[in-house]
Structure 1
Amino acid sequence: MKNIVLIGFMGVGKGSVAREVIKHSDYIAMDTDDLIESMENRKIKTIFEIEGEEYFRKIEKKVAKWLEESVKNTLISTGGGFYKQKNIKKIGTIVLLDSPFDEIIKRIKEHPKAEKKFKKRPLLQDLEKAKELYDLRRPEYLKVADVVVDVTNKSAHDCAKELLKKVKKL
């Protein structure tokens, strides 16, 4: 079993799909943002506010190197910009969870903890800028991905089943 690395825009459902994948497979799961918060002993929002994005990306790079060298048989959920790590293909099979921007925002707004979901994502504070970022990143996500799973109007359970089926075929 090779690692599976979930990429996609913030709020697309990487965490939800990851939880479903581990229910239906032998994978364990980890999240790069959780690892960073643990390493730094502070929230990502705070890291961005105090240190800035450049510092955050340096920590991401450190996490990417550790994942490549030390982690096996794991489903790894990543932050929205993690796909830029130069060694990402060495970490595992890259699975893009894909959905149109408006659907991602709608999904977050409909979540019972919507306010908290928006608050914890510094780059979603300005939806116009977030849309520009989405438009910039989506073609890059598609270039990096080994597998694409369209999550639009699908449950996390259905996305997890599709993801496992597609990865198995590789």
Structure 2
Amino acid sequence: MKKKNNIVLIGFMGVGKGTIARELYKQTGKFPIDCDDLIESATNLKIKEIFEIYGEDKFRKIEKDLAKFILNSIDNSIISTGGGFYKAKNLAKFGKIIYLKASFDYIISRIKNSPNADKKIAKRPLLANLDEAKKLYNERDPKYAKKADFIVNVENKSPKQIAKEIKKLIKG
């Protein structure tokens, strides 16, 4: 299977993958697909509820099923992934992988300063304990970088600027 024509956004939870996907849609016309939204729609549960009721292992199994679906069915789209989606088998074939990079502190302040901050923190079960979340961030950061075709630092940039940068990188 050849590489798909998708733009795949990876990075830590709260970095802005969904926001950037929506801005990329405005600039490219490629339709944005949010992995967490698809999982919530398929299960009729919020991500937080899946974690509470079934645990992280069940969530990762659902995510794995979604990855297979995307690989077999989705092309010419923008895929906004969950924070752990970088582990998906054959990720390189999904399309151009863009690591949206920011420091842990920047991500946390971004979430805390956003409208509906409490909701945004509550919907991310792995942010319940910030010390554990920071460990997870430090563990994942080099793994995201290794999987990425391009790394885009998103700190102190508008979604419009970030999307333009991604478009430029993809066009070469």
- 2:139 matched to which residue of 1? 136
Compute the displacement of 1:92 (Å): 1.1
Compute the displacement of 1:80 (Å): 0.2
Compute the displacement of 1:91 (Å): 1.2
The two structures have a TM-score, normalised by structure 1, of 0.97
2:60 partner amino acid = R
CA RMSD of aligned residues (A): 0.9
Compute the displacement of 1:167 (Å): 1.1
Compute the displacement of 1:55 (Å): 0.6
Compute the displacement of 1:26 (Å): 2.2
The two structures have a TM-score, normalised by structure 2, of 0.96
1:136 partner amino acid = E
- 2:85 matched to which residue of 1? 82
Paired residues of 1:65 and 1:87 also in contact (CA < 8 A): no
Residue in structure 1 matching 2:108, options 105, 113, 118: 105
- 2:168 matched to which residue of 1? 165
State whether structure 2 residue 80 is matched by structure 1 residue 41. no
Unaligned runs of 5+ in 2: none
Compute the displacement of 1:22 (Å): 0.4
Compute the displacement of 1:87 (Å): 1.8
Q: Distance in 1 between matches of 2:163 and 2:110?
A: 17
Compute the displacement of 1:157 (Å): 0.9
- 1:55 matched to which residue of 2? 58
Q: Could you list the runs of 4 or more consecutive aligned residues of structure 1 that deviate by over 3 angstroms after TM superposition?
A: none
Give the fraction of aligned pairs with identical amino acids, expressed as a percent: 57
Residue in structure 2 matching 1:29, options 19, 29, 32: 32
State whether structure 2 residue 10 is matched by structure 1 residue 4. no
Report Cα offsets for 1:88-125 as digits up to 9, x if no partner. Answer: 11111110000000000111111121111101000001
Q: Distance in 1 between matches of 2:92 and 2:158?
A: 27
Paired residues of 1:64 and 1:87 also in contact (CA < 8 A): no
Q: Distance in 2 between matches of 1:110 and 1:39?
A: 30
Residue in structure 2 matching 1:91, options 86, 91, 94: 94
